[in-house]
Chains A and B, each alone.
Chain A
Amino acid sequence: MDPVIELVNVVVRYDAKRALDGLSLRVHPGEIFGFLGPNGAGKSTTIKTILGLILPDSGTVRLHGLPASDVRARAAVGFMPEETAYYKFLTPLELLDFYGKLFGMPRRERRERAKALLAQVGLDGPVQRRCLSTFSKGMAQKVSLAQALINDPRTLVLDEPTSGLDPLARADLHRLLDSLRREGRTIFFSSHELSEVELLCDSVAVVCEGRVVRSGAMKELVGAAAGSSLERFFIRTVKENARS
């Protein structure tokens, strides 16, 4: 099966510093892929490279079989950034309508889908017509998730999706991601919440200093030894690679 996301020997430099230093990874259709790493390891740069927001200095990045820089590759992708100040002069309905337009969705479909998605993430009723400037961080995160789903994407790329969410909203998001997985969608997400990654993901990769140092199926990486957990695996992996 062809990978949905494929990075081969990707190098990204910020001036003299190598943010990605020969990073390679593959994400297969239908899996929830957890992308882990300490702060500054290159997680956000990897996500931006996958989405064509950063062009690599060398190496190849393919999304749905196309170069990530190809605009068609992003037609079936939804992206939820870690933190974004969306256009504060819009209401959530208007915001989703705008993003729907960028995908060429017909007006009626855009409006119906925007309403349904906002309700699905817990923003039902009059709040849909309130200006985004009045929204709390948690509410903005919900809008962010809804906008990522506006085009009914085959692949979702989520950067720290649960940051800023309260436990109830977090549980709702877990249920939503689980239902999306059952629909056969591919989900690539970075998170510092290791319990969440362990709960949801089929595969994980750990990135350190711009390189993937361990990757594979969750069960193979974590579940081999009795009493092991993703947290222990992660700390051990990061320490080993920090030493080297």
Chain B
Amino acid sequence: MGSLSRRRFLGSAAGAGLLGIAGPRTAHSASTINIGASLSLTGRFSDSAKYVEEGYRLWEAQTNDAGGIGGSQVKVTIYDDQSNPDTGRVLAQRLIDRNGVVAILGPYSSPITDAEAVVVERAQVPLIGTIASDSSIWARRNLKWTFQAFPSSNYDHEGFIKIVKEKGEGIKKLAIIFEQSPFSIAGKDWAVSYAKKLGIPVDAYGYAPGNQDFRSIIEHIVNSGADVVSMGGYYQPSIALTRQMMERAFNPKGYQFIEASDGVTKDALGANAEGIFGRSAWEASTDTPENKAFVAAYQKKYNRKPSYHSASAYAAGQLLAAAIKAKGAKSEAIRDFIATSSVDTIMGSFKVNDKGQQTGYRYLTIQWQGGTQKIVGGNSKTAAEWPKPAWK
């Protein structure tokens, strides 16, 4: 049995050695600003995460080409949280302790954001929720070091409902479909009360995350007489829902799925994308010089038009740059700046309230018209098409 105890000690020693060896020890040198990022490069949201990574890398490269911030080069270290909060927790700690980052750019989903928020609250390093649309993380806790840098999912259905009110004379009922996860539930709750306030009869139907079968829900909607539908879930379930509605030969007069602004919609639905609404945190067609410059730079580097994920990532970089320029590359200073300042980025006007929730950025409403997506509603000059043409 002695050999076993020896083995155990050896094992611990190896483990301890591993702790020391694992990961590059980056010296916190004065000439590099270390920034960390947690991305779900593998796992459920890996497609979107790739776009976010591209946005960070573009910002990093541009910033360094222009001489860095205050003379110091920027280094963004990205780890893959594998869509797993436990992994995210460890990597946040690794970024802080081994890579010496002054700030962390945020992960994708609520559970991972929440997990890393707890880590940074304890370690006192700012975390920027780059694509965190779920405001409930900030509502249910006092978070001083985590900030929402994306429009709140509360407003997912706002633009569409406004258009329904404006254009939808004589519509019978609005059906809202939501995924039973925090961001979607928040959007549904807000939308239901907003619709009621506007006098639109409304029903809500929830589905479990990962569920791809909407047939029962569609039956309910058909039977309830609803003729306008807004889907507040992720992209792929939305496509499944759309196809199943087509199969059922159910033609709503107005139809939104919030992620319809993803360019892939056209590939997935072809001509049937016509008339579908979506909500967008950012559009390439927005006409400001800064935005145009970003789109051009992105196109040059990646040979593709950027999506809102990349734009949001880039904007988070802009936010950090503003903070560091103003207050220096120290975690506390960055945190204080972000908590109190209003910053213009390509996403709009960043501003958080005292809970850390985003109040500046808002959504745009888009609609697929003639094969391209156009910004409608709000200040847009483009008229919304109504009703939606029947499926082919």
A and B bind: no
Question: Which positions in A face B, CB cutoff 8 Å?
Answer: none
